[in-house]
A and B are shown apart, each in its own frame.
Chain A
């Protein structure tokens, strides 16, 4: 095996920094919120927070991998909508639950494979490819439903999103397992470790014999599958499918991944960082709701945190960066 000189260690050190900052912020905000309002630490509220962040978390994790590969995926929100519509329509028509979920996820994987094919093999800018997919997937979801809600889902399906273990929805556990697995894979599984290298310098990665195109395509399929999984959880939790599910989710996912340490220039990104970033945003949002601030401030806060993250990054890079 070829040793990838210097890279993993350096990026790891960088990411650890980021995670520590985010964890400290989360701690401070949690303490502040619990002092300000007793409702914050109630198990009901905490469950509410972690359940609400599950969709964002899944999407942001997928986005982290794509950003790592020096890509971007603007289509995730639309893929979520399309998967939601396809799965629920199949269920409405009486398809077996595993079949409906399998086909739904298959559709999302197909969207990802098309994105990946255009990006990795035809070498077209990911921004444009996924922008096109964004229109196409949302358009198909709209055509399929004519803009109506899809409801009347079987109870067994609703149990996926509504069922609870120790009073916490299943999907929270599933999301946590996804975080742990992805974090371990990113550290230990060769193709994902190579993703850091691909994102830093695709040409050099290709010359060292890394299968750049295949791994890149895999990244896009994974990202779409995460959006598809979010769609399954969302539809079963809300007991319906709707073509506008996931509208604008792509920008949120990108913002969360970047706050968590990913860069549009590829080569960096961390599962832990992204997870903490999503959690931080969810906490702040919850704080606004609990303190009866305007929930509309959510976007302002998210944008503000993004700016702060950018500034911290610039400060940390100040000695190394030349161009």
Chain B
């Protein structure tokens, strides 16, 4: 009897999933179209826009956002949110730097830093699960704490002077004649393909849609939701640590001021990419397109010389427009 009920609930959730999926395709397709149109318009005015070196610059500038957005996407699919990434990002840059300055070999420093990111993620999930508080509040508390900790452990001044071999993660790359294709781009690409594939095809990862779409029926069908969320937030924390390590390598320095408002930029990109803050919808492809779109807007404004100050206005307007479009589509279908 109960099994039948759970089955029906699951079927209902699956049906919802299917309908959402095509809605998602529409949204992601619309975003891709907007990107193409935007690129053409800018290209016609500034012929360097789509040159390989400039595309490379866009990638490098928004690499941290792109990597962190991978984890944020899954967090948002489970109807959660993770503000703490903007604290973990500078924190891990500082930690990996301090460890190396203290004489730790590079692989050890990196592994410890990744573990630190995962632990912070686990703490987020623990607070949210154990005290039944919205992840916004739990991760806000951790963000505030980490921002303070970052200043305290660095004394407010940048940490720098890392060993030479560390440059491979954010600075070194393949010489393409005119620009360097950094290895860090491949790190991002590998992570994006992996998470994108798993989220689409792997049963365990797809549970995040089920949990975000209907937590109650997910729980009733025997999923340990709390434990799953620990996994999701640990993943998000680890990815933020990856981004922090890359940026420390890129600038050969770690500063507590890295990542101001980064959490909101990432969330904006993920939402523009079609993720639903109520959970149950979102995709890696959409989120990556969202980051790309924001990166293009920033880049185009920097290039145009009109006034880079317009970029925030445009990004905010794009967010509202994409939401309104999504709502209109949803309403038409319902």
Q: What residues of chain A have their CB less than 8 Å away from a CB belonging to chain B?
A: 72, 74, 118, 122-125, 127-129, 131-140, 142-143, 146-147, 247-248, 251, 254-255, 258, 264-265, 294, 296-304, 306-307, 310-311, 313-314, 317, 321, 323
| CB pair B316 A135 closer than 8 Å | yes
User: Quick one: closest B residue to A137, CB to CB?
Assistant: B316
13 A-B residue pairs with CB within 8 Å: A124-B324, A127-B81, A129-B323, A132-B320, A135-B319, A136-B317, A251-B143, A299-B147, A302-B144, A306-B141, A310-B137, A310-B138, A311-B131
User: Quick one: closest A residue to B271, CB to CB?
Assistant: A128
Contact residues in A for B267 (Cβ distance below 8 Å): 131
Answer whether A132 and B319 are a contact pair too, CB < 8 Å, given A125-B278, A304-B145: yes
- Residue of B141, B260, B277 touching A307 (CB-CB under 8 A): B141
Residue pairs across A and B with CB atoms within 8 Å: the count is 141
| CB pair A132 B311 closer than 8 Å | no
| CB pair A265 B309 closer than 8 Å | no
| CB pair B127 A307 closer than 8 Å | yes
CA distance A296 to B257 in the complex (A): 13
Indicate if B174 sits at the interface (CB-CB under 8 A).
no
Q: What residues of chain B have their CB less than 8 Å away from a CB belonging to chain A?
A: 81, 83, 127, 130-134, 136-138, 140-149, 151-152, 156, 216, 260-261, 264, 267-268, 271, 277-278, 307, 309-317, 319-320, 323-324, 327
User: Quick one: closest A residue to B138, CB to CB?
Assistant: A310
| CB pair B137 A143 closer than 8 Å | no
CA distance A132 to B151 in the complex (A): 29
Answer whether A254 and B140 are a contact pair too, CB < 8 Å, given A124-B324, A143-B313: yes
| CB pair B132 A139 closer than 8 Å | no
| CB pair A306 B137 closer than 8 Å | yes
User: Quick one: closest A residue to B313, CB to CB?
Assistant: A139
Contact residues in A for B83 (Cβ distance below 8 Å): 251
User: Quick one: closest B residue to A243, CB to CB?
Assistant: B309
CA distance A118 to B324 in the complex (A): 9
| CB pair A264 B136 closer than 8 Å | yes
A interface: dominant SS = helix
Answer whether A300 and B148 are a contact pair too, CB < 8 Å, given A74-B264, A132-B316, A264-B134: yes
Answer whether A134 and B316 are a contact pair too, CB < 8 Å, given A122-B324, A146-B307: yes
Contact residues in A for B142 (Cβ distance below 8 Å): 303
| CB pair A317 B317 closer than 8 Å | no
Answer whether A265 and B148 are a contact pair too, CB < 8 Å, given A118-B320, A128-B323, A143-B309: no
Which 9 residue pairs are nearest across A and B when measured between Cβ atoms?
A135-B316, A139-B312, A299-B148, A139-B313, A303-B145, A300-B148, A303-B144, A314-B131, A136-B316
Contact residues in B for A147 (Cβ distance below 8 Å): 309
List 5 additional A-B contacts (Cβ < 8 Å) besides A139-B309, A304-B145: A127-B136, A128-B277, A128-B319, A139-B313, A139-B315
Contact residues in A for B316 (Cβ distance below 8 Å): 131-137, 139
Contact residues in A for B137 (Cβ distance below 8 Å): 254, 258, 264, 306, 310
Answer whether A265 and B324 are a contact pair too, CB < 8 Å, given A136-B312, A296-B148: no
CA distance A241 to B260 in the complex (A): 21
Answer whether A125 and B277 are a contact pair too, CB < 8 Å, given A135-B319, A255-B144: yes
CA distance A301 to B148 in the complex (A): 8
CA distance A138 to B264 in the complex (A): 13
Contact residues in B for A299 (Cβ distance below 8 Å): 144-145, 147-148, 151
| CB pair A297 B148 closer than 8 Å | yes
